[in-house]
Structure 1
Amino acid sequence: MKCPYCGFLQDRVVDSRESKEADSIRRRRECEGCNRRFTTYERIDEIPYMVVKKDGRREKFDRQKVLSGLLHACEKRPVSAGKLESLVDETETFLMDSPERERSTTEIGELIMNRLKMLDTVAYIRFASVYRDFKDVREFKEELEELLTAKEKKRS
């Protein structure tokens, strides 16, 4: 915590008290540079992380919804629950790192697909078919051909 008097970055907490409403914590701090005391208040961050849908609507980020989609894509595939949980954590961190507290479904979907591609190509295709909303077999085939071409380039 930066001292409001001298700008020093080191302090110590002298006293902590919960507010009467229990929605914040009041802390008395003492600067280790100038020894002056000041008060800070800590509150729970209640602004939700938002996802901007393709049609412009905004909705709260739902970890369970992402995990559910990944579980469907990885059904009967050799992908551990731990890896899926890790991917959901990474997705949530990606959203939390946004200065505007929101990300588009396009950004989130691309992140997930790139990670899934490294974990399991079949799960990647399953996820992509739903995410990209393939209209017909041709679009599905094009995605498979891109995947095969990338795999052949990797081997060369």
Structure 2
Amino acid sequence: MKCPFCSHPDTQVAETRVSEDGTLVRRRRRCAACDKRFTTYERPEVNFPAIAKKDGRRVEYDRAKLLGSFKLALRKRPVSTVQIDSAIERIEEELLQLGQREVLSSRLGELVMRELKKLDKVAYVRFASVYRSFEDVDEFRALVDEVGE
């Protein structure tokens, strides 16, 4: 693996750890040239279903985009990165278990809302208020009342 600091092609693995659920390998590496350390992550490459958007377009599933949505909804909220990663992994597992070649974006949005509701009620309301495009205050109030129950 090439060093991200000096681009030297020779790095050595100093430590390897497997995640608790066994789906990810974390490696600490050291560059032979500049002696700096960095971390890499390995996960199996799988084929996620394409996402069918409301306008008819088909796009590839993008973990980074999903992570961005979570981070935006959870901005300044007391939720750890580990919790966010676990939520995304649960969503990805469900997408794979569906066994479909394509999933509606609305289905993915519902999965995100389900996970956010478990993580943080404020983040859930933030995401839902944008995702559901409320037409009036009463619809939004109903969502807040639902969360308060």
TM range (shorter): 0.5 to 0.7
Contact 1:129 1:140 (C-alpha < 8 Å) held by counterparts: yes
| Structure 1 residue 106, shift from structure 2 partner | 1.8
Q: 1:80-113, CA deviations, whole angstroms, 9 ceiling, x for partnerless residues?
A: 1111111111212222223222211222111221
AA paired with 2:138?
A: R
AA paired with 2:100?
A: E
SS at match of 2:98: coil
Which stretch of structure 1 is more off in the superposition, 119-128 or 89-98?
89-98
Contact 1:95 1:101 (C-alpha < 8 Å) held by counterparts: no
Match of 1:122? 122
Match of 1:72? 72
AA paired with 1:69?
A: S
Match of 1:54? 54
Structure 1 vs Structure 2 CA RMSD: 2.0
Q: 1:3-55, CA deviations, whole angstroms, 9 ceiling, x for partnerless residues?
A: xxxxxxxxxxxxxxxxxxxxxxxxxxxxxxxxxxxxxxxxxx88663011223
Aligned residue runs from structure 1 range 127-146, under 5 A: 127-146=127-146
AA paired with 2:79?
A: V
Contact 1:95 1:102 (C-alpha < 8 Å) held by counterparts: no
SS at match of 1:100: coil
2 CA distance for matches of 1:46 and 1:135? 39
Contact 2:51 2:104 (C-alpha < 8 Å) held by counterparts: yes
Contact 2:48 2:95 (C-alpha < 8 Å) held by counterparts: no
Q: 1:35-77, CA deviations, whole angstroms, 9 ceiling, x for partnerless residues?
A: xxxxxxxxxx886630112233211111111110110100111
Contact 2:48 2:96 (C-alpha < 8 Å) held by counterparts: no
Aligned residues: 105
4+ residue runs over 4 A deviation = 45-48
TM-score, structure 2 as length reference: 0.63
Higher Rg: 1
SS at match of 1:112: helix
AA paired with 2:119?
A: L
What runs of 5+ residues in structure 2 fail to find an aligned partner?
Answer: 1-44
